Amino acid sequence: MADTLTKEPDYSAGRSVGSLYWAVLRRELLLFFRRRSDLLNPLVFFLLVASLFPLGVSPDPTFLAQVAPGVVWVAALLSTLLSMDGLFRSDFDDGTLEQTLLSPQPMFVVGLAKVSAHWIMTGLPLTLLAPLIAVMLFLPADGMAGLVLTLLLGTPTLSLIGAIGAALTVGLRKGGVLLSLLVLPLYVPVLIFGSSAVQAAINGLPVSGHLALLGAMLALGVVMAPLAIGAALRISVSG
Amino acid sequence: MIVENLYCERDDRVLFEDLGFSLMKGEVLQIEGQNGSGKTTLLRILAGLSSHFEGDIYWRGLPLMDVQDDFRRDMLYFGHQPGVKAMLSPEENLRWYAAMHPAIDLDRMATALDAVGLNGYEDVPCHSLSAGQHRRVSLARLYMTAAPLWILDEPFTAIDKAGVAKQEMLIQRHAELGGSVILTTHHELHLGSHMRRINLDQLAGT
pLDDT of residue A201: 92
**Spatial distance between the Cα atoms of A79 and A122, rounded to a whole number of angstroms:** 8
pLDDT of residue A11: 47
Q: Are B169 and A1 in contact (CB under 8 A)?
A: no
Q: Are B198 and B29 in contact (CB under 8 A)?
A: yes
Map residue B195 onto helix, strand or coil. strand
Nearest CB partner across the interface for A9, out of B95, B146, B177: B146
- Provide the percentage of residues in chain A whose pLDDT is more than 90: 63
Contacts of B153 in chain A (CB under 8 A): none
Please compute, for residue B33, the number of CA atoms within 13 A of its CA located in the half-sphere on the CB side. Answer: 22
Contacts of B173 in chain A (CB under 8 A): 1
pLDDT of residue B106: 85
Residue A55 reports pLDDT greater than 70: yes
Q: Are A114 and A175 in contact (CB under 8 A)?
A: no
pLDDT of residue A14: 46
Map residue A33 onto helix, strand or coil. helix
Can you give the residue ranges of every domain in chain B? 2-203
Residue B62 reports pLDDT greater than 60: yes
- The residue count of chain A comes to 239
Q: How far apart are the first and last CA of chain A?
A: 36
pLDDT of residue A78: 93
**Spatial distance between the Cα atoms of B177 and A2, rounded to a whole number of angstroms:** 8
- Going by pLDDT thresholds of 50, 70 and 90, the confidence category of residue B203 is low
Task: Convert the pLDDT of each residue in B143-161 to its tens digit.
Answer: 898 889 999 988 888 888 8
Between A44 and A1, the higher pLDDT residue = A44
- Going by pLDDT thresholds of 50, 70 and 90, the confidence category of residue A231 is very high
Nearest CB partner across the interface for A9, out of B75, B84, B102: B102
pLDDT of residue B204: 59
Q: Per-residue b/e over A185-197, b at no fewer than 16 CB within 10 Å?
A: ebbeebbebbbbb
- Which residues 105-124 in chain A show a CB within 8 A of chain B? 105, 110
Which CATH number is correct for B2-203, 1.10.1060.10, 3.10.20.30, 2.40.30.170, 3.40.50.300? 3.40.50.300
Q: What is the pTM of this model?
A: 0.88
- A237 in contact with chain B, both atoms CB, cutoff 8 A: yes
Helix H or strand E encompassing A72: helix A61-84
The amino acid occupying position A135 is: V
pLDDT of residue A114: 94
Q: Which residues pair with B22 in a beta bridge?
A: B2
pLDDT of residue A15: 55
Cα B12 to its chain centre, rounded Å, is: 27
- A231 in contact with chain B, both atoms CB, cutoff 8 A: no
* CB proximity list for B85: less than 8 A, separation 6 or greater: A27, A31, A90, A94, A96, B92, B93, B96, B126
Residue B206 reports pLDDT greater than 60: no
pLDDT of residue B5: 78
In DSSP notation, A222-239 reads HHHHHHHHHHHHHHHHH-
pLDDT of residue A176: 78
Q: Which of B84, B138, B99 is nearest to A23 (CA)?
A: B99
Q: Which of B116, B178, B121, B168 is nearest to B143 (CA)?
A: B116
Q: Are B113 and B119 in contact (CB under 8 A)?
A: yes
- Going by pLDDT thresholds of 50, 70 and 90, the confidence category of residue A229 is very high
* CB proximity list for B69: less than 8 A, separation 6 or greater: A104
Q: Which of A120, A133, A105 is nearest to A45 (CA)?
A: A133
Residue A239 reports pLDDT greater than 80: no
A94:B81 CB<8 A: yes
pLDDT of residue B205: 53
Residue A39 reports pLDDT greater than 70: yes
**Span A164-184, mean pLDDT?**
88
Task: Convert the pLDDT of each residue in A65-113 to its tens digit.
Answer: 989 999 999 999 999 998 888 899 889 988 899 999 998 888 999 999 9
Q: Per-residue b/e over B120-153, b at no fewer than 16 CB within 10 Å?
A: ebeeeebeebeebbbbbbbbbbbbbbbbbbbbbb
**Spatial distance between the Cα atoms of A157 and A220, rounded to a whole number of angstroms:** 9
Please compute, for residue B173, the number of CA atoms within 13 A of its CA located in the half-sphere on the CB side. Answer: 14
* CB proximity list for A6: less than 8 A, separation 6 or greater: B177
**Span B28-43, mean pLDDT?**
85
The amino acid occupying position A186 is: L
DSSP letter for A119, please.
Answer: I
